[in-house]
């Protein structure tokens, strides 16, 4: 199915926010994990795994709409996020997640004419809201 440029743009922005998230970066950032914090670290890894699965779904839907997946540069390329406390990274990731949620909420109407894309974007929005709660829980009062 041929998609509109707007639909492809929305899917690509969603893909960018998913692939270039702080959670994804945290996998290679080798964060400090406080003692007895293994469960929280596993929760962040779970968020990362779900983001990867979502990214594949978005890319597949883009391809089905004759779109080309386009992901920009990691937005925090100039910030050293390596070896930081996982609680700090979770707080930073939660703030980033709030911004992604706001972008998605604004763009829902732009894909309302394609039920399959709308369904995926709504599911991504709900997933990001759930991830926000998880990340805020890991960050705690940090």
**Domains defined for the chain, CATH in brackets:** 5-139 (1.20.1260.10)
How far is CA 134 from each of CA 49, 61, 89, 91, rounded to the nearest angstrom? 13, 27, 12, 10
Whether residue 1 is predicted with pLDDT greater than 60 in this model: the reply is no
Whether residue 2 is predicted with pLDDT greater than 70 in this model: the reply is no
Whether residue 3 is predicted with pLDDT greater than 90 in this model: the reply is no
Q: What is the chain's length?
A: 142
Model confidence at 38, in pLDDT bands (50, 70, 90)? very high
Residues 122 and 32: their CA atoms lie apart, in Å, by 34
CB atoms within 10 A of CB 42: 10
Instruction: Return the pLDDT at 135.
Output: 98
Q: Are 137 and 91 in contact (CB under 8 A)?
A: no
Q: Which residues pair with 32 in a beta bridge?
A: 85
> Looking at residue 79, what DSSP letter applies?
S
CB atoms within 10 A of CB 41: 16
Q: Which residues contact 133 (CB under 8 A, 6 or more apart)?
A: none
Predicted TM-score of the model (pTM): 0.93
- Interval 52-106: pLDDT, tens: 999 999 999 999 999 999 999 999 999 999 999 999 999 999 999 999 999 999 9
């Amino acid at each position: 199915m041929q998609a509109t440029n707007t639909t492809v743009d929305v899917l690509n922005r969603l893909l960018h926010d998913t692939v270039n998230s702080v959670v994804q970066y945290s996998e290679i950032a080798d964060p400090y994990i406080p003692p007895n914090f293994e469960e929280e670290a596993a929760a962040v890894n779970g968020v990362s795994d779900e983001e990867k699965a979502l990214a594949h779904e978005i890319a597949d839907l883009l391809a089905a709409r004759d779109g080309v997946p386009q992901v920009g540069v990691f937005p925090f390329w100039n910030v050293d996020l390596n070896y930081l406390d996982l609680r700090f990274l979770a707080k930073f990731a939660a703030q980033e997640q709030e911004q992604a949620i706001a972008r998605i909420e604004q763009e829902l109407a732009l894909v309302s004419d394609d039920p399959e894309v709308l369904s995926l974007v709504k599911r991504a929005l709900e997933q990001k809201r759930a991830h926000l709660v998880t990340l805020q829980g890991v960050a705690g009062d940090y």
